[in-house]
């Protein structure tokens, strides 16, 4: 019995040494028999963040150790931190000389401060306990370092400027926010959110870092930069107020498009690619509206680019009518709006014309009327017509139509291809021949990708969805823009142009509007119509002086050009023999853009013709000026005017929705009107 008692006393003494040796090693003559060693002796964490510390226990006693319990947050203030054993490999028997591991996770409670981490190890329900010796205790520093929990949105433009709201813990005293190391602009900050504007950066995933006086918090791969969208053109640019029109929007970076709006009203999205997105319009009041495409990487808006037309509308023309080009069934000229174009009572979306004939798109089909001696009407005959006739084979699928100054006509079709007909003496039809045709023929090499067309005297140009231009036909003044003066029976590329969104041709010069808002022109320049401050003809595009940005539309007359500014003002340059520049003078040309009198704002659309100019104001008023020998200005007289003058409205059959000027040497004007 005495031996048993003695053995029990010995065992108890041994356990006492094991569990208390570390606590009192500094006072004991024995070396520690249980080593408790942390992975680090210092750790920092945000006030609402977390951190972990790993521990290794080595049994240096002469006996086994088991049934350990761990109190991870011994003697730590609960108001500062909570501690838990997140991993425990010390639950079994620990043999002499063996080691085991456990992990402690610390969680901040929102306060900042300092403390010491020293887990307490106990046996026998806590009667025998130990904590690490002083060298093996971990200093803990809790600070208000930001902890990012979310971003909205998580994508934005490579150009920067995206407003991002960052949610986080401990955002007091934020000093900086960076995206991939580049500083963002801090707009506002609270204890839980900071609103910033992103800096520019190349496409890709980037880290976001928020810094305050205590340190930095990082959210890895949290924000994606991508290229913003751009809109170049729409096809068609008009549709019914009832909605339901399928519109193809051309541009760039549309692959991830999320929405399309017309005048702020959401459209139904169809298919989309990187360069085109289709959308079906919703109902909207009549008028011209902005079109906006949104992607995860930004928003693109083409201002005043789509016109809602009432379902019931028609067309009126006035001016010279010696071949029946006004379409009213007579050959009587008129100097003001009077009667409507016969037969066309609805569905008309665009009108074009030349000296003695007119064409229009009606219910997506092409119709023409007037002189037809060279096959200009495209109906398979050479017989004149005082009223509209169908163009052969083009009763549907027509988006736009344009007439040249010398008897050629072209139509842009819904497939992105085009067909031309009429006079072809120098290859202006683009079919590789010089043979006239009284029915539409295909243009060589342009079976797709065409988004806009224009014509002048004996030449034609097409704008492609690549932002480039191809021209063909006469080139004696370099109007084909390819650096030569050699005619071409098939399309050639205009030199040095990209990013083009609109084109307009004069008698022998062409101008292009770029997506930067700049204008470039080329060809004949004897009157300064290229706008570059000289009268030197150019076979390649030149910059228009003072118009490197800020232009929303451009239109070329026979020997003059005008531009509509983003401000709603109008500028013109070139020939001014008839006062067509609209600045109150006559016969004083200008080789640089000058302001049109009284039109510094409020202009919605512009057209130029043979020595004349017209503008439709946002108020619905139409003003014209310049050459008026045939009454084409519509002001009730046949006298020229060198300042914008309102047309006579008493004969209008409805509000003006769109205006059209017959190309050089045309002497008529037309409007599309809506229901009164």
Q: So what's the pLDDT on residue 311?
A: 64
Please compute Rg for the chain using Cα positions. Answer: 40
Chain segment 290-347, per-residue pLDDT in tens? 999 999 999 999 888 888 877 657 899 999 999 999 999 999 999 999 888 887 777 8
Q: How many CA atoms lie within 13 A of 467 on its CB side?
A: 16
Give this prediction's pTM: 0.69
| Per-residue buried b or exposed e for 133-149, using 16+ beta carbons within 10 Å of the residue's own CB | beebbbebebbbbbbbe
The DSSP result for 349-371, as a single string, is EEEEE-SSEEEEEETTEEEEEE-
Kindly tell me if the per-residue pLDDT of 233 is higher than 80.
no
Dist. CA 235–CA 233, nearest whole Å: 7
Chain segment 538-562, per-residue pLDDT in tens? 999 999 999 999 898 999 999 999 9
Distances (CA, A) of 445 to 333, 397, 409, 428, 479: 41, 19, 18, 14, 20
Dist. CA 260–CA 229, nearest whole Å: 12
The DSSP result for 163-179, as a single string, is EEEEEEE--TTEEEEEE
* Residue located via tokens 């409007």: 671
Dist. CA 464–CA 276, nearest whole Å: 12
Chain segment 482-509, per-residue pLDDT in tens? 999 999 999 999 999 998 989 999 999 9
Q: So what's the pLDDT on residue 418?
A: 96
Dist. CA 309–CA 227, nearest whole Å: 34
The confidence band for 28, taking pLDDT boundaries of 50, 70 and 90, is very low
Phi/psi at 436 (nearest 5 deg)? -60, 155
Residue 325 contacts by C-beta under 8 Å, 6 or more apart in sequence?
Answer: 317, 353, 356, 357, 358, 369, 370, 371, 662, 668
Kindly tell me if the per-residue pLDDT of 224 is higher than 80.
yes
- Residue-range domains of the chain with CATH: 2-142 (2.60.40.10), 147-226 (2.60.40.10), 233-309 (2.60.40.10), 314-673 (2.130.10.30)
Q: So what's the pLDDT on residue 258?
A: 93
Dist. CA 104–CA 115, nearest whole Å: 15
Distances (CA, A) of 366 to 316, 351, 424: 17, 10, 20
The sign of the CA dihedral 422, 424, 427, 428 is negative
Mean pLDDT, rounded, for 612-639: 95
The confidence band for 245, taking pLDDT boundaries of 50, 70 and 90, is confident
Kindly tell me if the per-residue pLDDT of 7 is higher than 60.
no
Distance of alpha carbon 238 from its chain centroid, rounded?
A: 20
576: its two tokens: 């001014």
CA angle 317, 323, 325 (to 5 degrees): 25
Residue 401 contacts by C-beta under 8 Å, 6 or more apart in sequence?
Answer: 350, 352, 359, 360, 361, 366, 409, 410, 411, 412
Kindly tell me if the per-residue pLDDT of 158 is higher than 50.
yes
């Amino acid at each position: 019995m005495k031996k048993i008692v003695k053995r029990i006393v010995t065992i108890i003494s041994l356990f006492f040494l094991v569990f208390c040796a570390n606590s009192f090693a500094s006072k004991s003559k024995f070396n520690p028999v249980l080593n408790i060693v942390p992975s680090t002796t210092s750790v920092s964490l945000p006030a609402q963040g977390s951190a972990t510390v790993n521990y290794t226990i080595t049994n240096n006693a002469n006996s086994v150790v088991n049934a350990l319990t761990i109190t991870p947050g011994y003697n730590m203030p609960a108001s500062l931190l909570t501690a838990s054993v997140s991993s425990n490999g010390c639950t079994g028997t620990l043999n002499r000389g063996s080691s085991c591991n456990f992990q402690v996770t610390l969680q901040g409670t929102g306060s900042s401060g300092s403390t010491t981490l020293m887990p307490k190890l106990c046996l026998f329900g806590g009667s025998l306990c130990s904590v690490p010796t002083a060298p093996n205790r971990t200093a803990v520093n809790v600070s208000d370092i930001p902890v990012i929990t979310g971003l909205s949105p998580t994508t934005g433009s490579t150009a920067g400027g995206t407003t991002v709201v960052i949610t986080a813990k401990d955002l007091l005293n934020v000093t900086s926010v960076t995206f991939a190391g580049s500083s963002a602009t801090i707009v506002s900050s609270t204890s839980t959110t900071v609103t910033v504007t992103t800096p520019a950066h190349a496409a890709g995933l980037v880290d976001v870092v928020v810094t305050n006086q205590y340190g930095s918090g990082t959210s890895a791969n949290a924000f994606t930069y991508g290229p913003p969208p751009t809109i170049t053109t729409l096809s068609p640019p008009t549709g019914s107020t009832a909605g339901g029109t399928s519109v193809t929007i051309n541009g760039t970076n549309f692959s991830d498009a999320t929405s399309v709006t017309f005048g702020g009203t959401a459209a139904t999205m169809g298919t989309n690619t990187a360069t085109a997105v289709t959308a079906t319009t919703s109902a909207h009041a009549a008028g011209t509206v902005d079109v906006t495409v949104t992607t995860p990487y930004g928003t693109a808006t083409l201002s005043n680019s789509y016109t809602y037309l009432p379902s019931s509308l028609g067309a009126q023309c006035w001016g010279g009518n010696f071949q029946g080009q006004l379409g009213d069934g007579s050959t009587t000229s008129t100097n003001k709006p009077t009667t409507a174009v016969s037969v066309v009572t609805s569905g008309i979306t665009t009108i074009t014309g030349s000296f003695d004939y007119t064409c229009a798109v009606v219910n997506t089909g092409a119709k023409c009327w007037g002189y037809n001696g060279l096959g200009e009407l495209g109906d398979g005959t050479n017989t004149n017509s005082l009223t509209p006739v169908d163009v052969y084979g083009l009763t549907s699928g027509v988006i736009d139509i344009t007439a040249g100054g010398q008897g050629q006509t072209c139509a842009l079709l819904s497939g992105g291809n085009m067909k031309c007909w009429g006079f072809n003496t120098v290859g202006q039809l683009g079919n590789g021949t010089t043979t006239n045709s009284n029915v539409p023929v295909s243009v060589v090499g342009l079976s797709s990708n065409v988004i806009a067309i224009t014509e002048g005297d004996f030449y034609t140009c097409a704008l492609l969805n690549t932002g480039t231009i191809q021209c063909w036909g006469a080139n004696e003044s370099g109007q084909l823009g390819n650096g030569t003066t050699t005619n071409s029976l098939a399309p050639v590329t205009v030199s040095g142009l990209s990013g083009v969104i609109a084109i307009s041709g004069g008698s022998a010069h062409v101008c292009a509007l770029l997506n930067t808002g700049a204008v470039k022109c080329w060809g004949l320049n004897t009157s300064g119509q290229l706008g570059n401050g000289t009268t030197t003809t150019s076979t390649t595009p030149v910059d228009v002086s003072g118009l490197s940005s800020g232009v929303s539309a451009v239109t070329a007359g026979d020997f003059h050009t005008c531009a509509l500014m983003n401000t709603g003002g109008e500028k013109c340059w070139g020939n001014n023999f008839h006062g067509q520049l609209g600045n109150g003078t006559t016969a004083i040309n200008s080789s640089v853009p000058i302001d049109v009198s009284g039109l510094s704002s409020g202009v919605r659309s512009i057209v130029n013709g043979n020595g004349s100019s017209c503008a439709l104001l946002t108020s619905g008023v139409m003003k014209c000026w310049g050459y008026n020998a045939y009454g084409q200005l519509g002001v009730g007289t046949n006298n020229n005017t060198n300042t914008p003058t309102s047309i006579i409205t008493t004969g209008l059959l409805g509000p003006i929705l769109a205006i059209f000027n017959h190309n050089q040497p045309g002497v008529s004007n037309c409007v599309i009107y809506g229901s009164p």
